């Protein structure tokens, strides 16, 4: 069970919990690199003007200054603040380094971010995100929207998190549908639909009427669209059956069908077309993604993102992209809280090399060096206590093997879980593959 942090919103994992988080990060890194994404890291701070240029809520941004510095005003665009996501810093990074990057540029990034919101289940003030994006110079083929859905489905499938659903929609589809209905404020409709799961259909209907002036017929059609969710391309016929036509709607239907058609072949059952997904942020222009854990939908999205045409731009240069962000800390906190994944031990060590007497410490270090040279993590006992105490120490730390060296120079290794003990040579001995590293496995 995850330990409650002493400072709310700033989690600190115990070693065995940290091993689970590290496993998640290592797995994501491996999958991303298998797909050719290069790793970058951006600075932790940006100027306030840079962070808020897309209209984000400034009350969630942590300002950064020296304690002895004069108080800076919120209106100072050059004041420094901690980044609250990785997308805005990445956009700046692309613009500043465009001359040194090969486009389309494929990047992944895993860093801490900070957000001043009220801590609650799945929400933190300091947390780790893992992002992947593909950015083009001027244009970016739609195929990347399809590819990113498949990469994320593969990455999440490799984690011990249970079943999940990557829910995909297309802003062109939604906006074209609303325009065909006669609702011109498509951004406003999207913001209302984005609240559907939080406040329910009746309250969304009320918002559409009071804030946007929608008629009963328009509201009914908008909510009917949001009800459509399929694991295959049958959503196309269901949307068309609603009787609304618009060129942008057709474009969105075609793009979303490409994503789902590929997912049916590559990630069956994991990716669904869900017309209720809106993503309230205005910079998304096409494909939008949200991911939920089946049975833990109340946690909210653990991975989200979409296509943006002009998040990164300068002068006449435009860098369209598509990307997704995984809330690693949110995901890990649920894994620990529900005990859906556990680490085999709290330390990386597979072997404790014992001491027969205090004079044997250097020889024990030679044994440890031989083991480490072949990738076997080990520790050497600090003092020559009774073997029973040394074994108890290994057991307390979760170290599965204890190494003994006799006076005649021969060696034996004991598996303290089974009690089996056998002769061993430090130059060739290997533990079972499952014991070589600290394994993280799904519960049950």
Q: What is the token pair recorded at 231? A: 């694991």
| CA–CA distances in Å: residue 211 to residues 147, 176, 190, 203, 204 | 37, 20, 12, 12, 10
Residue 42, marked binder:
no
Buried b (16+ CB within 10 A) or exposed e, 119-139: eeebbbbbbbbbbbbbbbbee
Residue 108, marked binder:
no
Residue 279, marked binder:
yes
Q: Compute the distance between CA of residue 145 and CA of residue 151 in angstroms, rounded to an integer.
A: 10
Residue 87, marked binder:
yes
**Nearest-CA neighbor of 396 among 130, 16, 25?**
16
CB atoms within 10 A of CB 35: 15
Q: Give the phi and the psi of residue 339 in degrees, each rounded to 5.
A: 55, 40
Residue 230, marked binder:
no
Q: Half-sphere exposure of residue 133, counting CA atoms within 13 Å on the CB side?
A: 30
Residue 324, marked binder:
no
- Torsion over CA: 362, 364, 370, 376 (sign): negative
Chain Cα centroid distance, residue 369 = 37
What's the first-to-final CA gap in the chain, in angstroms?
16
Residue 284, marked binder:
yes
Residues 6+ apart with CB under 8 A from 277: 167, 168, 169, 288, 289, 290
Q: Compute the distance between CA of residue 192 and CA of residue 194 in angstroms, rounded to an integer.
A: 5
| CA–CA distances in Å: residue 84 to residues 45, 56, 151 | 9, 10, 24
CB atoms within 10 A of CB 33: 12
Provide the annotated binding site for L-histidine. 85-87, 115, 129, 133, 279, 283-284
Provide the annotated binding site. 85-87, 115, 129, 133, 279, 283-284
């Amino acid at each position: 069970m995850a330990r409650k942090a002493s400072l709310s919103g700033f989690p600190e994992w115990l070693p065995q919990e940290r091993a689970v988080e590290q496993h998640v990060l290592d797995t994501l890194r491996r999958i991303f690199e298998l797909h050719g994404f290069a790793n970058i890291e951006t600075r932790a701070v940006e100027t306030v003007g840079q962070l808020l240029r897309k209209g984000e809520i400034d009350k969630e941004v942590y300002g950064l200054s020296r304690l002895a510095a004069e108080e800076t005003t919120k209106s100072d665009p050059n004041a420094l603040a901690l980044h609250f996501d990785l997308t805005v810093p990445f956009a700046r990074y692309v613009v500043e380094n465009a001359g040194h990057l090969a486009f389309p540029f494929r990047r992944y990034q895993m860093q801490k971010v900070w957000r001043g919101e009220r801590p609650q289940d799945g929400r933190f003030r300091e947390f780790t995100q893992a992002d992947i994006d593909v950015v083009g110079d001027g244009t970016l083929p739609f195929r990347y929207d399809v590819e990113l859905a498949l990469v994320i489905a593969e990455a999440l499938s490799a984690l011990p998190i249970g079943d999940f659903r990557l829910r995909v929609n297309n802003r062109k589809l939604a906006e074209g549908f609303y325009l065909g209905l006669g609702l011109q404020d498509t951004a406003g409709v999207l913001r209302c639909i984005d609240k559907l799961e939080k406040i329910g259909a009746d309250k969304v209907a009320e918002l559409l009427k009071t804030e946007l002036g929608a008629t009963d017929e328009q509201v009914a059609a908008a909510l009917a669209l949001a009800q459509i969710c399929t694991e295959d391309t049958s959503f196309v016929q269901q949307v068309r059956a609603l009787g609304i036509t618009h060129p942008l709607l057709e474009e969105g239907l075609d793009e979303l069908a490409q994503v789902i058609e590929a997912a049916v072949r590559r990630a069956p059952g994991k990716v669904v077309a869900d017309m209720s997904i809106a993503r309230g942020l205005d910079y998304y222009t096409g494909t939008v993604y949200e991911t939920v854990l089946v049975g833990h939908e109340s946690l909210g999205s653990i991975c989200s993102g979409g296509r943006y045409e002009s998040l990164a731009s300068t002068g006449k240069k435009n860098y369209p992209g598509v990307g997704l962000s995984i809330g690693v800390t949110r995901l890990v906190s649920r894994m620990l809280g529900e005990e859906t994944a556990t680490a085999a031990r709290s330390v990386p060590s597979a072997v404790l090399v014992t001491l027969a007497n205090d004079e044997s410490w250097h020889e024990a270090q030679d044994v440890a060096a031989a083991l480490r040279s072949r990738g076997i993590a080990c520790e050497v006992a600090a003092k020559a206590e009774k073997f029973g105490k040394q074994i108890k120490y290994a057991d307390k730390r979760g170290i599965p093997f204890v190494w003994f060296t006799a006076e005649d120079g021969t060696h034996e290794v004991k598996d303290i879980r089974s009690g089996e003990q056998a002769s061993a040579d430090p130059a060739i001995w290997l533990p079972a593959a499952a014991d070589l590293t600290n394994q993280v496995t799904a519960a049950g």
